[in-house]
Amino acid sequence: MIAIYLGMGVALLATSAWVFFGVAYFRPRARWLDDDARKALYRDRLNEIETEVKSQVIETVDSTELTEELGVALLEDLEGQDDDGDDGSSRLVRLSLAFVVVAASVALYLHWGDPSAVSIRNVGSMVTNTNSTRGELNEAVRRLNVRVKKRPQDRTSWYYLALAYFKAERFSDATKAFAMVQAPGDAPLIDVEVHWAQAAFLAAGGILDTDALRIVERIQTYRTDHPSVLELLTLDAVQRRLHERVVNYSDRALRQEIVGVQRDFFERALITARSQLSSARPYLNVVVDVRTIPKELSWLLVYARSESAGPPLAVVKRPLDGRDSFNVTLDDAVSMDPSRPISSVNQVYVVARASVTGGASRHPGDMERLSDILIPDGATIRLSFADDADVVESK
């Protein structure tokens, strides 16, 4: 589309220059406009020649030559008149064509171009401004609705309209507008779809109804643990009193490096939900002291393993964010494999690993601490990187 605009601009400038110079330098040559006057002039000259012959001022032979010269001059005059006429017609055609091209360029630009693009960018700035007033948002909604009616394929305007509706707390309208942003068959715009899911969640009264859940599931196809999506899932689980799901969603979010506000939300949700779970369930509380861990170690993994071989039963992962210690709980809500929870065994041991990469496999430079064999009966154990020597897991 940009190439079209540039082409139209160049054509318009070139044609305007053509018109300007054509008008500025158009100088029609003087020519006979009255045929009767021309004929009278030549007739008078012929009469003069006859009179001069009769009075013997000129010879008959000379008069014949003069008459022939006069005839040649008459023919040249007539031909010059035709040339002038043709030249004038040609100039008129060129001038008319120039004006037609200018008019066509303007018409094409108005049809395919975007004269109001600057105005819409200003509206977008108004919508994204955190200090926009309700009156400004209403004006933005009005202008954007006019625009999307004229340009229903303009997805940028639909996006701004959806944001304006969202900020004005018109969540149902925002949901419909967000649906127009994503073109069918295109790769999803994750940030747009997250906003869309949030609007659908709020439009449904703070739960994930069928439509909102469909959007969430589409996002999870491309990004399983998006923090904002996990936040919606957590809030929905809180509303439905599904405490174990709250623990699961919150723990998945806390495994990532997220902003402080979100981290505070998920940590509070996790603590509150765990307090609602049965105290008779199999679990272990683990306190890990990380004060002396080298800076190159960025992740803490705490997991419970069975005495027999196999992958971990329950896993908690946290980014090392500068705090001195971590308190985590290992139970069925953080099972690595739901078909093999911690409640399926009688005895476990706990591993705390300070890791460079945060991956499942031990990396050179990682540090580990191991517990004794334990019964997952709600006991609290302590592992420290401050005092113990580094331990390599041997089981």
With cut-offs at 50, 70 and 90, classify the pLDDT of residue 81: low
- Percent share of the chain, pLDDT over 70: 67
Share above pLDDT 90 across residues of the chain, in percent, rounded to a whole number: 51
Residue 360: pLDDT band by 50, 70, 90 thresholds? confident
- For residues 109, 112, 117, 119, the Cα torsion angle rounded to the nearest 10 degrees is 70
- Mean pLDDT, residues 219-229 taken together: 94
The tens digit of pLDDT for each residue in 286-295 reads 999 999 899 8
Task: Measure the CA–CA gap between 27 and 390, rounded to whole angstroms.
Answer: 99
Q: Is the pLDDT of residue 48 over 60?
A: yes
Task: Write out the two tokens for 67.
Answer: 């008459």
Whether the predicted pLDDT of 181 surpasses 70: yes
What mean pLDDT do residues 5-10 have?
58
With a cut of 50, say whether residue 188 has pLDDT above it. Answer: yes
pLDDT value of position 288? 96
Lowest mean pLDDT among 66-70, 106-110, 178-182, 217-221: 106-110
- Rounded Cα distance, 381 and 368, in Å: 15
Tokens coding 28:
């029609």
As to burial, measured by CB atoms within 10 angstroms (0-12 exposed, 13-18 middle, 19+ buried), residue 149 is exposed
- pLDDT value, residue 292: 87
Q: Both tokens of residue 316?
A: 């908690």
**Average pLDDT, rounded, for the chain:** 81
CA 24 vs CA 27, 58, 95, 101, 187: distances in Å: 8, 50, 12, 19, 55
Higher pLDDT, 82 or 174: 174
Torsion sign (Cα): 251, 255, 256, 261: positive
pLDDT at 1: 45
> What is the per-residue pLDDT for 111?
54
> Cβ(160)–Cβ(127) under 8 Å?
yes
What does the alpha-carbon distance between residue 334 and residue 337 come to, in Å, rounded to a whole number?
Answer: 9
Has residue 30 got a pLDDT over 60?
A: no
Stretch 142-170: mean pLDDT: 92
Phi, psi of 377 (to 5 degrees): -115, 20
Cα separation, 374 vs 288, in Å, equals 16
Half-sphere exposure in the Cβ direction for 145 (13 Å, CA): 11
For residues 22-30, average pLDDT: 51
Across-strand partners of 318? 300
User: Exposure of 42 by Cβ count < 10 A (0-12 exposed, 13-18 middle, 19+ buried)?
Assistant: middle
- The average pLDDT across 166-175 equals 95
